[in-house]
Structure 1
Amino acid sequence: MQVSVIIPVYNEVKTICAVLERIKQVGIVDEIIIVDDGSSDGTREMLASLESDPLIHIVFHPHNQGKGSAVRTGIQSATKDIIIIQDADLEYEPGDYPSLIQPILDGQAKVVYGSRFLGAQKRDFLLLSKLANLFLTFVTNLLYQQSLTDMETCYKVFRRDVVKDITFHSRRFEFEPEFTAKILKRHIHIHEVPVHYNSRGFDEGKKIGVKDGLESLWTLVKYRFVE
Structure 2
Amino acid sequence: PTTVSDYQDLYNYLKPFKKDGKSVLVSIILPMYNEENTIRLILEKLPKNELIEIIIIDDFSSDNSLKEIKKVKHHNEFKIIHHQENRGYGNAILTGMQYTTGDVIVSMDTDGQHSPDDIFSLIKPIFDGKADYTIGSRYLGSYHYRLPIVTRLGEILVEKFFRVFFGIKVMNNQNGFRAFTKELIPVFSNAKFLGYAFCTEQILQAKLSEHKVLECPIKVYNREYGYSKIKLHILTLNILASLLIYYLIKFKLNLLRKRKTIKGFLW
Please give the TM-score of this superposition, normalised by the length of structure 2: 0.76
Would you say the 8 A contact 1:51–1:58 is kept in 2?
no
Structure number with larger C-alpha Rg: 2
Instruction: Indicate the residue corresponding to 2:186 in structure 1.
Output: 164
Please name the residue that 2:214 is paired with: 191
Deviation (angstroms), 1:50: 6.4
Q: Paired residue for 2:61, among 31, 39, 44? A: 39
**Of 231, 235, 240, which residue of structure 2 is paired with 1:217?**
240
Counterpart AA for 1:179 = Q
Cα distance in 1 for residues equivalent to 2:60 and 2:126: 33
Selected match of 2:77 from 18, 36, 55: 55
| Pairing partner for 2:36 from 13, 24, 44 | 13
Task: Tell me what 2:26 maps to.
Answer: 3
Could you tell me which runs of 5 or more consecutive residues in structure 2 were left unpaired when the two chains were aligned. Answer: 1-16, 18-24, 251-267
Pick aligned residue for 1:155 from 171, 177, 182? 177
Alpha-carbon distance in structure 2 between the residues aligned to 1:21 and 1:50? 7
Deviation at 1:51, TM superposition (A): 11
Quote the residue 1:178 is aligned against.
201
The separation in 1 between residues aligned to 2:197 and 2:185, in whole angstroms, is 17
Cα deviation 1:23-45 (Å, max 9, x = unaligned): 136x6861111000011112234
> Does the CA-based 8 Å contact 1:80-1:160 persist in structure 2?
yes
Equivalent residue letter for 1:220: L
Q: Structure 1 177/122 Cα, relative in aligned 2: closer, same or farther at 3 Å? A: closer
Specify the SS of the correspondent of 1:87: coil
Closer, same or farther in 2 for the Cα pair 1:11/1:109, shift >3 Å?
A: same
Give, in whole Å, the separation in 2 of the partners of 1:31 and 1:56. Answer: 7
**Equivalent residue number for residue 74 of structure 1:** 96
- Residue 223 of structure 1 deviates from its aligned partner by 2.2
Percent of aligned pairs with the same amino acid: 28
List runs of 5+ in structure 1 lacking aligned partners.
none
- Return the offset for 1:212: 1.3
The whole-number CA distance in structure 2 between the counterparts of 1:58 and 1:175 is 22
Query: How many Å separate the matches in 1 of 2:101 and 2:210?
Result: 25
Contact 2:39 2:68 in 1 (8 A): no
CA contact (8 A) 2:57 2:92 kept: yes
TM-aligned CA distance change 1:41 to 1:217, over 3 Å: same
1:46-98 deviation per Cα after TM superposition (whole angstroms, max 9, x unaligned): 44676963531000001101111101101111111110000001111111111
Alpha-carbon deviations, 1:104-123, whole Å to 9, x = none? Answer: 1211111111111114x454
The TM-score with structure 1 as length reference comes to: 0.88
Equivalent position SS for 1:157: strand
Which residue of 2 is the match for residue 87 of structure 1?
Answer: 109
C-alpha distance in 1, partners of 2:109/2:209? 26
Report what 2:259 is aligned to: none
> Could you tell me how far 1:149 is from its partner in structure 2?
1.9
Q: Is the 8 A contact 1:116 1:123 kept in 2?
A: no
Assess, with a 3 A threshold, how the Cα gap between structure 1 residues 63 and 49 changes in structure 2: closer, same or farther: farther
One-letter identity of the residue aligned with 1:198: Y
Length, aligned pairs only: 224
Residue in structure 2 matched with residue 101 of structure 1 by the alignment: 123
SS of 1:24's partner is: coil
The 1:29–1:212 alpha-carbon spacing in structure 2 relative to 1, beyond 3 Å, is: farther
| Residue type of the alignment partner of 1:212 | L
- Which residue identity does 1:62 align to in structure 2? Q
Query: What is the Cα-based RMSD across aligned positions, in Å?
Result: 2.4
**One-letter amino acid of the counterpart of residue 176, structure 2:** C
Deviations 1:135-156 (A, max 9, x none): 2222222221222222211122
